[in-house]
Amino acid sequence: MSRISETFARLAKDNKKALVPFVTCGDPRPETTLHILHELVAQGADIIELGVPFSDPMADGPAIQLANERALAHETGLPEVFEIVRQFRQQNTDTPIVLMGYMNPIEYMGYGAFAEKAKAVGVDGLITVDLPPEECDEFIPVLKANSIDPIFLLTPTTSDDRAKRILSHCSGYVYYVSLKGVTGSNQLNVDDVASQVQRLKAYTDLPITVGFGIKNAETATAVSKVAEGVVVGSALVNQVAALADETDEVIAKEVAAIISTMRQAMDA
């Protein structure tokens, strides 16, 4: 059983939901990221989505676009991301790490080289925002051969037929995008999310996490009642940006404080 599957099984046994923070690797500095990862886990994160910096993050709003720019200014690419995951694994062998990004850096490195290196450093899953199911037949077997879960996005506009096709390639968990638009969007409707999650459950037994629009403990708690996991990204990235000139320790503490508040509210 993979780390991701073990995590969801443990949470289900304890009647809890997964709290999944997203941060961009290398933001605001590469050396800051490791501090943030460990502090997120200490404050209640169950799975971490780690953004791979890219020059054209088309699914992301202004906050994460700027995070990518800050990381790229420090030349944070896939090799640097792998190194940070490797260092994280020296102290933490339990918390799943899911890389989230775009296909261009992976294609440049090569499918086999990417998957082998990801496995070697301890990556558990991969979300590639711009990989459609029609074009994944070559890549997905390479990931699965290296015990890396391919995780796909589904949206409010995903048809039933397309959802079935996407879910047939998915493992680990499903990422449901709660809003039409980019990361950081507003106006989350929990009733709509609940309806969509139930629709998807007819086609998969995988845990469903919900992201986009989770900004505070209130929205995290509401979404956790209708899905197996809650993903929070822009709220954390905004905090990193606001504290970019502070020490690594201060940034990590303040970013993780948001997760701590959500964790307490979700468990209450």
* pLDDT tens-digit series, residues 77-126: 999 999 999 999 999 999 999 999 999 999 999 999 999 999 999 999 99
Residue 266 has what pLDDT? 97
CATH at 45: 3.20.20.70
> Residues 65-74: what's their mean pLDDT?
94
Residues assigned a catalytic role: 49, 60
As to burial, measured by CB atoms within 10 angstroms (0-12 exposed, 13-18 middle, 19+ buried), residue 78 is buried
Supply the range of the domain harboring residue 76: 3-267
Q: Name the band, by pLDDT with cuts 50, 70 and 90, for residue 232.
A: very high
pLDDT score recorded for residue 179: 75
- Ramachandran sector of residue 155 (left: φ over 0; alpha: ψ -120 to 50; beta: rest): beta
Q: If we measure between CA atoms, which residue out of 13, 32, 65 comes closest to residue 184?
A: 65
- The strand order across the sheet containing 229-232 reads 149-151, 125-128, 97-101, 48-51, 18-24, 229-232, 208-211, 174-177, 153-154
| C-beta neighbour count of 186 within 10 angstroms | 9
Please compute the mean of the pLDDT values over residues 147-158 and round it to a whole number: 95
| The pLDDT of residue 57 is above 90 | no
Q: What per-residue confidence (pLDDT) applies to 56? A: 86
- Give me the mean pLDDT over the 57-80 stretch: 91
DSSP per-residue string spanning 154-165: E-TT--HHHHHH
Q: How confident is the model at residue 196 (pLDDT cuts 50, 70, 90)?
A: very high
99: CB partners within 8 A, 6+ apart: 49, 50, 51, 52, 81, 118, 123, 125, 126, 127
**Domains contained in the chain, number:** 1
Mean pLDDT over 250-256 rounds to: 98
pLDDT value of position 187: 65
Rounded mean pLDDT of 178-207? Answer: 82
Q: What is the pTM of this model?
A: 0.95
Can you list the pairs that 156-162 forms with residues at least 24 positions away whose Cβ atoms lie under 8 Å? 156/180, 156/192, 156/196, 160/199, 160/203, 162/133
For residue range 27-47, list pLDDT tens digits in order. Answer: 999 999 999 999 999 999 999
